[in-house]
Amino acid sequence: MAMIGIRFDLRAPAFGTATHAELYAACLEQCAWADGQGLDLVVLSEHHGVDDGYLPAPLTLAAAIAGRTKRININIAALLVPLHDPVRLAEELAVLDLASASRVGFVAGLGYRDEEFAMAGVDRKARGRLLEEYVDVLRRAWTGEPFEWRGRTIRVTPKPRSEPLMLVGGSTAAAARRAARLRLGFFPAIGDPQLADVYQEECARLGFAGFVSLPGGPGFVHVSEDPEREWARVGPHALYDAQTYAAWQPPGQRSAMHVEARTVDEVRRSSAYRIVTPEECVALARETGRIVLHPLMGGMPPALGWQGLTLFAEKVLPHIRS
């Protein structure tokens, strides 16, 4: 059975018509809808200081979503761990775990935008070391017992009901080896089987069973009875989304959403953004084993996102959940 996720980053570009207040309200309503429809996962992302207001506080939004839902899991992919105070992060995640009945997990990411490290006062060159150090802090903090860190005695209470699900992200062999070294699952940013091989080889060397999940399928799926008409409405948002992600990537950085495109037609020809008929969506779910809905992508008007979600529920979901 296909995994069905719904993703949000809450960007409101200048050309868009939806305000941030409207996008956040729609996000909460759409998460409640996803919960009621039996979808599997809400995915949130994190970036800071972006002109379009890209979601900077995914833990806060995750708490709001947890309060509006009963069963759907919530994953922050990625949570930029080196930009956070790890003790405060441990406290916030512990409270989220308790309040959500252990439905919130995250992919620990390094971060890559220079502006974000400058804003946080963190040395970008130290991000790998900091991630490993902070993961250790999180684990020790969640025992609820006192421990020493950087000359201080730390105790985080209350401890979570269970240790929050924590995976390691990345798109390099170094990231794969880091995940194995930390004895955590690996969720690479790209569906490269060679990264899975590197991870599994390192896990075997360390005597750790490991877990790897390669991303597959498009990062944006929207359902329409008339995809050609819909591209005229969605296209500017998809082009904006693709171009900004591409502009952020440093040399050597790879991501499933990294599409080099100058026109909407070039975005359409990529595999990352798909507008499909209900029948095509059913086939896509069976082929890839997952569907990622992104109903407010690039600041899309909520009404446009709702049209795709409604059609998905009526004409796709019954076929892939049967």
292: three-class secondary structure by DSSP: strand
Whether omega for the bond prior to residue 78 falls within 30 degrees of 0, making it cis, is yes
pLDDT of residue 256: 59
d(CA 313, CA 309): 6
Q: Name the token pair of 19.
A: 């305000």
pLDDT of residue 260: 82
Go through the chain and tell me how many residues it has: 322
Q: 79 in the Ramachandran plot: left (φ > 0), alpha (ψ -120 to 50) or beta? A: beta
Q: What is the pLDDT of residues 273-285, one digit of tens each?
A: 999 999 999 999 9
* 181: enclosing H helix or E strand: helix 173-181
Residues of the chain with pLDDT under 50: none
Q: Name the token pair of 173.
A: 């062999």
pTM greater than the 0.85 cutoff = yes
pLDDT of residue 257: 61
Residues 6+ apart with CB under 8 A from 44: 7, 8, 9, 55, 58, 61, 62, 65, 74, 75, 76, 77
Contact 4, 294 (CB under 8 A): no
Reference 65, options 90, 37, 41; nearest CA is 41
DSSP secondary structure letters along 96-158: HHHHTTS-EEEEEE----HHHHHHHT--GGGHHHHHHHHHHHHHHHTTTS-EEETTEEE---S
Reference 181, options 223, 130, 230, 132; nearest CA is 132
d(CA 241, CA 9): 11
- How many CB atoms are closer than 10 A to CB 52? 19
Contact 59, 67 (CB under 8 A): no
75: three-class secondary structure by DSSP: strand
pLDDT of residue 202: 98
pLDDT of residue 252: 64
Q: What is the pLDDT of residues 72-125, one digit of tens each?
A: 999 999 999 999 999 999 999 999 999 999 999 999 999 999 999 999 999 999
d(CA 202, CA 168): 14
pLDDT of residue 86: 99
Q: Is the Cα torsion angle 167, 86, 219, 194 positive or negative in sign?
A: negative
pLDDT of residue 66: 99
Q: What is the pLDDT of residues 278-307, one digit of tens each?
A: 999 999 999 999 999 999 999 999 999 999
d(CA 30, CA 38): 12
